[in-house]
Chains A and B, each alone.
Chain A
Amino acid sequence: MGLWETISGRSRPKRANLDALFLVPSAAVTLQTAAGLLPTGDGAVCYRAATGAGFHETQGDIVALLGAAPDAPQVETSVDSFGFTWLQVHRDPSDPEGIAALCTDLHAVNTTLESEGFGPGLLCSLVPFADPTGRRVGLVYLYKSGTFYPFAPTGPQQRDNLLELQVRDTLRAELPIEPELSGWLALWGAPGL
């Protein structure tokens, strides 16, 4: 915050940075070759639902928009224990183009929310990956800082820090990674992980 914002006690809601999501498909290729992690075909956008009819309508529009495409994915919404909504998109994991289509879906969700004025409510997007041994790690995109970080839960309140750091080092050249480890928000109970 600048001096003027401090003096006037007035912070504007932070705007979301959306375009970095399109870096995910190439990062997915790197993850597959370097760490054996494959996309699970799922993806989710986590946001804060605003009160009232305007938001309800917008969310309905998004689900309809995603369902209208010829290769429509499965879409569902759920609300977690913190009151944040997860809009989940499921695609066929065996489709090699699936991850690119998934990112387009997630981007469509973001731009629709943004254009209706709900951009400040966007928290993160999540693209889960899994390896053949069953380890799972989610690539999380934080809209407000415009950075990615890996999140690998192993239990109800436990995360695999070693795997997370390994993923960070693998993707460092391709994605803007959140530099502060304290900013690697734990998303317990995130769908798809």
Chain B
Amino acid sequence: MARSRFVGDAGLTVRMTTVMFLLGALFVALVVGLALAAGGGLGILIGIAGIGVAVYQWANSDKVAMRAMRAREVSPEQAPELHGMIDRLCALADMPKPRVGVADTSVPNAFATGRSPERSVVCVTTGILGMLSAEELEGVLAHELSHVAHRDVLVMTVASSAGIAAGMLGQGARFGGLGLFGRRGNNGGLPVWLVVLLVSLAVYAISFLLLRLLSRYRELAADRAGAYLTMRPDALASALTKITGGINQIPQRDLREVSAASALCIAPAIGGVSLSTLTATHPSLEQRLEQLARIQAELSRPTA
């Protein structure tokens, strides 16, 4: 039996599935809580609406993200090296080839989006093309292809249903329920709309934190898969170092242009120390480099 150099990471899997379970539980809690506070019909209605908006976002994710980054699709004739690299990585991973996009911005970044592996886009900025060597770029592309293979866009949008539902509910409740929450005669108690507002705010806050946590876990998973695909964890590590350094040096005005699509990017597009680790969409550079170093050690272990 051939031995494998693949090191499992049970801890990451456990943490990730726990967070996803909590997000699901939060969604159920919101719907049930609402049904108790304001009647069963409304709870189910809000639940369905939350899922509906999430599905809509997921179905249009490629167009929305491409537009937000002002990216254009490129053909194999326009970018033969980029296409050649992706061709080979897809053959190595046995996955369908995504479309390829390039965004004209000096911010070094890359992202992958799309509703399924068959209909996805991998996009890089001209900034990243100029900054990285071929090997480093390949590491970045492998990371993005791993996002596609893991269906991260689907997972993240479904996971955000609770937050979306709570957000909509909060908006409605702020204006006194728009007549939706009938004034029941609960003398002396809190008005129903206030209860709904408080519950939705709490759900929104918890869902926000859990989503960011999930996003960081998905990034680590994509780093892992990407490093194993190219067999060069060191190239991805040096690319990450370069990109993160580059992003922190870029003036603030440029960064706002890309913040909309931040959760889908290879490195957080918003730099600076003010961003606390709790709400970061990406794990810290140290954490990512540490994981890559572990993979590197396993790959370079001498033969028995």
Chain A residues in the interface with B (C-beta under 8 A): 1, 5-14, 48-55, 57-58, 61, 81-84, 114-121, 123-124, 142, 144-145, 157, 182-183, 185-186, 188
Contacts and interface: CB of A to CB of B under 8 A. Distances in A.
A61 B303 contact: yes
Overall SS of chain A's interface: loop
Interface in B138-185: 138, 146, 149-152, 154-155
Contacts of B17: 7-8
Contact of B234 (A51, A144, A183): A51
B238 to A, nearest CB: 12
B4 A142 contact: no
B300 A53 contact: yes
Interface residues of B, number: 51
B88 A82 contact: yes
A118 B5 contact: yes
B273 interface: no
Interface string B85-114: 101100111101100000000000000000
Contact of A12 (B6, B88, B232, B303): B6
A13 B16 contact: no
A157 B80 contact: yes
Contact of B299 (A50, A81, A114): A50
A193 to B, nearest CB: 16
Interface string B15-34: 01100100000000000000
Contacts of A48: 92, 230-232
A120 B227 CA distance: 12
Contacts of A117: 2-6
21 contacts: A1-B149, A6-B154, A8-B16, A8-B17, A9-B150, A10-B224, A48-B92, A50-B231, A52-B301, A54-B5, A55-B299, A82-B134, A83-B134, A83-B232, A117-B2, A120-B228, A120-B231, A123-B91, A142-B91, A142-B94, A157-B80
A158 to B, nearest CB: 12
A120 to B, nearest CB: 7
Contacts of B135: 83
A9 B300 CA distance: 25
Interface stretch (B57-65, B204-212, B215-223, B248-256): B215-223
Nearest to B87: A185
B91 A8 contact: no
